[in-house]
Amino acid sequence: MLSETDLAVLRFAAHAPRSIGAREDAVRAELGMQPIRYYQRLNALLDSPDALAAEPQLVRRLQRLRDGQGRPNL
């Protein structure tokens, strides 16, 4: 089962700004966490069966981005 924070990270990833600076500012403002923690949590969620069950299309899309580009700007 995903926590509220995990769900918030996934929801944010679905509409995150494309530029790195804007994304990092939005992570701080919307999620109240440091960008490095956001990226760590998001990457853990992309490997989580619970996240896949909750948001299958989003998780698969983000997995493809992560796995296909080496170091993506998620």
**Calpha distance 67→73 (Å, rounded):** 12
The string of DSSP letters for 9-50 reads HHHHHHH--SSHHHHHHHIIIII-S-HHHHHHHHHHHHT-HH
User: Is the model's pLDDT at 53 over the cut of 80?
Assistant: yes
Structural domain includes residue 74: no
Structural domain includes residue 45: yes
Percent of the chain past pLDDT 70, that is, above it, reads 92
- Give the pLDDT band of residue 38 (cuts 50, 70, 90): very high
Structural domain includes residue 42: yes
Domain that holds residue 13: 4-69
pTM recorded for the entire structure: 0.86
Mean pLDDT over each residue of the chain, to the nearest integer: 94
Say how many domains are in the chain: 1
User: Is the model's pLDDT at 74 over the cut of 80?
Assistant: no
User: Is the model's pLDDT at 31 over the cut of 90?
Assistant: yes
User: Is the model's pLDDT at 48 over the cut of 60?
Assistant: yes
